[in-house]
Structure 1
Amino acid sequence: MARIGYARVSALDQDLEIQQHRLTAEGCQIIRCEKVSGASREGRTELATIMEFLREGDELIVTRLDRLGRDTRDVLNIVHECEVRGAFVTVLEPHVSTKGEMGKVILTVLGMVAQMERRFIKDRQRDGITRAKKAGIYKGGKPRLNHKQIILTHSCGISVASILQQLNCSRMQVYRVLSTKQLHDATGEKVR
C-alpha cells in the first residue's frame, strides 16, 4: 500500500513547493507534480501516470480538491477510477477521504461548491473588466512571454524545442506566438 501525492499548479510561473512539503509531511512515498491547467485531464501526464500505477490499497493524496480537478465530473471520474482499482482518495483541506462511508458524498458536494464558486469568480471578473473598459482604465493582461523575442529567435533559425527550453514555456505557447505573427504579417498589424 503506497501513499501517492499529486501536486498541480496551473501556470509555469506558479510554485509547487508548498504542496510538495505538505504531501511529504503527510507521509507520501511518491509525489508527482505538474504545471498544467486542471480544466480537463488532457495533457496531465503525471496524473495519468499515477492513475495507471495505482494498486489496491493505495491512497492518492492532494492538498485541496481543486488540485485534482476543476470540474466536478472530472473529480468524480478520478475518484471512480481509483475505487475501481481498489484505491482511495484523500483531500487534506478540508480533510476528506473516500475510505469512509460518507467520503464520496462529501467530495461530490465540495466539488459542486468549488465549481459554482469558480463560476461566481469568473462572473465578477467579467463584470469588473466591463466596468473598467467603460471607465477607460482597462489595459488587459500582461503578456507572459516576449512575443518579439520568440519571433526574432525563430527567424534566426533557432528550433522551437530550443526556444521553449530557453524561455521555459510550452510548445503550444511558442506555436501560438508564431501563428499570431503569421496572422499579423498577413493583416499588417503590429506584433506586441
Structure 2
Amino acid sequence: MATYGYARVSSEGQDLTLQVESLKEWGCEIVRQEKVSGTSTEGRKELGVLLEFLREGDELVVTRIDRLARSIRDLQNIVYELRVKGVSLKAIEQPIDTSTSAGKAFLDMLGVFAEFESNLRRERQMEGIAKAKARGVYKGRKKTIQPTQVQELRSEGLGATEIAKTLGIGRASVYRVLKESIT
C-alpha cells in the first residue's frame, strides 16, 4: 500500500508549495502536481497519470476536495474509478475518508458545494463583463486577424483552407471574416 498526493492550482501565477508540503508531511511518497483549472478533468495530465497508476490498497490524498474536482460529476467519476480499483481517498483539511460511510457522505456534500462555488464565480464574472461592456470598458480580445489579408487571398482565388494555412488561423475564422465582409 502506497500513499500518493495530488496538488492543483488553477493558474500559472498561483503557488503549489503549501499543498505539496502538506501532502509530504502527511506521508505521501509521491506528489503529482499541476497548474490547470479544476472545472473539468480535460487537460489534467498529472491527474490522469496518477489515476492510471494507482493500485488496490493505495491511498490518494489531497489537501481539499476542490483540488481534485470542482464539478460533482467529475468528482463522482473520480471517486467511482478509485473505488473500483480499491483505492481510498483522503483530504487533509476536511474529514474525508472514502473508506468510511461518513467520509463518503461528507465527500458528496463538499462536491456539491465546490460546484456551486464554481458556478457562482462564473456568474459573477459574466455579470462583471456585461457591466464593463455596457460602460464601454470591456471590448474583448484584440483582433489578431487582418480582414484585408483574408480578402486579398480570397481575391487571388485561394479557398478557405489555403487562406487559413497561409495566415496560420482557423478555417472558421476565415469564414467569419468573409461573412462579415458580405454584410
Structure-1-length-normalised TM-score: 0.69
1:139/1:19 CA distance change after superposition, 3 Å = farther
Residue 43 of structure 2 aligns with which residue? 43
Amino acid at match of 1:40: S
1:25/1:139 CA distance change after superposition, 3 Å = farther
Amino acid at match of 1:130: A
Q: In structure 2, how many angstroms separate the alpha carbons of the residues matched to 1:22 and 1:29?
A: 12
- Count, aligned residues: 158
CA deviations over 1:27-80 (Å, ceiling 9, x no partner): 111101122222322222221221122122211011121211121111111111
Residue 113 of structure 1 aligns with which residue? 113
- CA displacement at 1:122 relative to structure 2: 1.4
Q: In structure 2, how many angstroms separate the alpha carbons of the residues matched to 1:86 and 1:64?
A: 21
Across the aligned residues of Structure 1 and Structure 2, the Cα RMSD in angstroms comes to 3.0
Structure-2-length-normalised TM-score: 0.72
Unaligned runs of 5+ in 1: 148-177
Q: Which runs of 4+ in 1 moved over 4 A?
A: none
Q: How does 1:95-114 map to 2 (within 5 A)?
A: 95-114=95-114
Residue 17 of structure 1 aligns with which residue? 17
Structure of larger gyration radius? 2
**Which of 169, 174, 178 pairs up with 1:179?**
169
Secondary structure of the 1:179 match is: coil
1:21/1:139 CA distance change after superposition, 3 Å = farther
Unaligned runs of 5+ in 2: 145-167, 179-183
Q: How does 1:22-171 map to 2 (within 5 A)?
A: 22-138=22-138
Amino acid at match of 1:75: L
State the percentage of identical aligned residues: 47
CA deviations over 1:132-189 (Å, ceiling 9, x no partner): 2223333658x9xxx8xxxxxxxxxxxxxxxxxxxxxxxxxxxxxx527x958x959x
Secondary structure of the 2:7 match is: strand
Tell me whether 45-54 or 34-43 shows the greater mean CA deviation. Answer: 34-43
Amino acid at match of 2:72: T
